[in-house]
Amino acid sequence: MTGPAVRANSLSFEWATPAYPARVELHISLDGPGDLSTRMYDQIRAAIVAGRVQPGQRLPSTRELARRLAVSRNTVGVAFERLLAEGFVHGRVGAGTFVSATPLPYTDVRPATSPLRPRPVWDRLYEPLVMSDVHAAFDFRPGVPDASRFPYSTWRALLTEQLRPGAVGSAAHIDAAGVGALRSAIARHVGVSRAVRAVADDVFVTSGSQQAIDLIARVLVEPGERVAVEDPGYPPVRGVFTAHGAQVVGVPVDAEGLVTDALPDGVRLVYVTPAHQFPLGVAMSLRRRLALLAWAERTGAAIVEDDYDSEYRYGGRPLEPLHGLDHTGRVLYVGSFSKVLLPTLRLGFVVAPPPLHDALRKAKHLTDWHTQVPLQAAAARFVADGHLARHIRRMRAVYAPRHQMIQAALTGPLAPHLQAIPSAAGLHLTALLPAGGDDTAVVARAEARDVALQPLSRFGIGAGGPQGLVVGYGAIPTDRIDEGLRRLADCLENGPTA
């Protein structure tokens, strides 16, 4: 062995052995983050993987390395033991440590491509929106609640309670349907607030309502079967059914909600948002609700009722959910904590009739065993102790003036450019552009003025649907609404809408 070539905190070893007379170089630098053993391990491993040190070659001894690098022998020993344990080197007592000849399980070279391709259906599905990527001073996007009012200290206390030894029971997986206390609390909550008649056994806790839809698709829909959805409607739900191989058919929506007369034949399942149609915001009339239930009874179809934001009503009588009108057990009621708490918690549920319980439990188990237990247990206390009802009351008082301000603007100063769709619930209002309008152009102009909102056409199936603006008021602070709407008015006035 010759060398060392000393640098600050680093050494280059050059050595030759009788078996490998060519000189080899191993450079080890101790600079940088991480403990010394790990740095040494990383660099020797990299030299082996890159082929700079050949199989069969003997490494310098631990004693030699320790002496020259001025580190303890133990430090070098730890690095060598890792290399030995992972099969990069092998040792012979008295003879030294040799680079292994076996094919290496690792490579440091990341393949730039691969022959593997996803199933074709994934090419047909849209790119997921990353909602947290948008930062606008005037954020009118729908689907985002007011995170500044989230009851952080109550949740912190409830979660902390769950994160103590013993609090979450054993470390074993629980019933896939969810924590019993939360299932009971949800059954009581939807019974009182939405007249949904359910017992705890009917409730399945899911990772957001999105997963509830996914489980329902797995349990009820065979590939190739028809699923009817509202058009315009909620794209992530269409995506679930498409990904499961269903034939997704759009059904138009008018001022009374889903046009039941337009439902096609041979439908296995229909997905609706009757309390507050997404995205138009209309409520489904009682006449249509009854027509939908009668149609389902006649055809044998299942109905999925997504009640995603009906907790917030600003006048008018709350309309009874389809679930409450259903006497034949055809309606699955889906709820979400995304609007009343935070979408990032990923907490939702489905209330399902008994013949589906076993399959839903199996589907949930196969998907992810169950939703996080500490989160479920904290949510159970949050609902059962009355925090949820209080929070909803408080937030209704926050959102009501925002709803009113936007409604007043849509029907007042913005009326020459937009036709507001009457709506008395939820966290967004929608307005139509005149014929020939281009909502994506308006939204792009708004974005340039730091105003974020959604074009209605985004939610339609195919081109040619209504053009308009979907204006949310969950995220925007009340004192920014006037200025935000002024900017929006400028975008509508100063620029072609077609």
Ligand X SMILES: Cc1ncc(COP(=O)(O)O)c(C=O)c1O
Nearest one of 450, 424, 380 to 282, comparing CA atoms:
424
The secondary structure element, H or E, covering residue 244 is: none
State which residue, 75 or 372, has the beta carbon closest to ligand X: 372
Pick the piece of the chain touching ligand X (CB under 6 A) from 57-65, 99-107, 208-216, 264-272.
208-216
Amino acid at 266: G
Phi/psi of residue 459, nearest 5 degrees: -100, 0
Among 4, 60, 143, 472, interactor with ligand X by CB under 6 A: 143
Pick the piece of the chain touching ligand X (CB under 6 A) from 187-195, 203-211, 384-392, 430-438.
203-211
- 3-state DSSP call for residue 449? coil
State which residue, 40 or 453, has the beta carbon closest to ligand X: 453
Amino acid at 153: S
CA-CA distance, 337 to 178, in Å (whole number)?
15
Within residues 304-363, the interface with ligand X by CB under 6 A covers 306, 308, 336, 338, 343, 348
Question: Which residue stretches of 20-151 are H helix?
Answer: 36-49, 62-69, 73-85, 121-124
State which residue, 244 or 487, has the beta carbon closest to ligand X: 244
Q: How far is the CB of 498 from ligand X (least distance, A)?
A: 28
Q: How far is the CB of 309 from ligand X (least distance, A)?
A: 7
State which residue, 208 or 321, has the beta carbon closest to ligand X: 208
Among 37, 97, 209, 242, interactor with ligand X by CB under 6 A: 209
Q: How far is the CB of 307 from ligand X (least distance, A)?
A: 9
State which residue, 210 or 407, has the beta carbon closest to ligand X: 210
Q: Which residues of 208-219 are buried (b: 16+ CB within 10 A; e: fewer)?
A: bbbbbbbbbbbb
Residues contacting residue 118 through CB under 8 Å, at least 6 positions apart: none
Q: How far is the CB of 308 from ligand X (least distance, A)?
A: 4
Among 278, 312, 399, 473, interactor with ligand X by CB under 6 A: 278
- CB atoms under 10 Å from CB of 128, counted, come to 9
Among 273, 310, 376, 407, interactor with ligand X by CB under 6 A: 273
State which residue, 69 or 334, has the beta carbon closest to ligand X: 334
Closest residue to ligand X, based on beta-carbon distance = 208
CA-CA distance, 418 to 489, in Å (whole number)?
10
The secondary structure element, H or E, covering residue 210 is: helix 208-220
Amino acid at 477: P
Q: How far is the CB of 306 from ligand X (least distance, A)?
A: 5
| 104 CB-contact burial (10 Å; exposed 0-12 / middle 13-18 / buried 19+) | middle
Amino acid at 139: D
Residue 234 binds to ligand X (criterion: CB under 6 A): yes
State which residue, 41 or 278, has the beta carbon closest to ligand X: 278
State which residue, 202 or 306, has the beta carbon closest to ligand X: 306
- Binding-site size for ligand X (CB under 6 A) equals 13
Amino acid at 321: P
Binding site for ligand X (CB under 6 A): 143, 208-210, 234, 273, 278, 306, 308, 336, 338, 343, 348
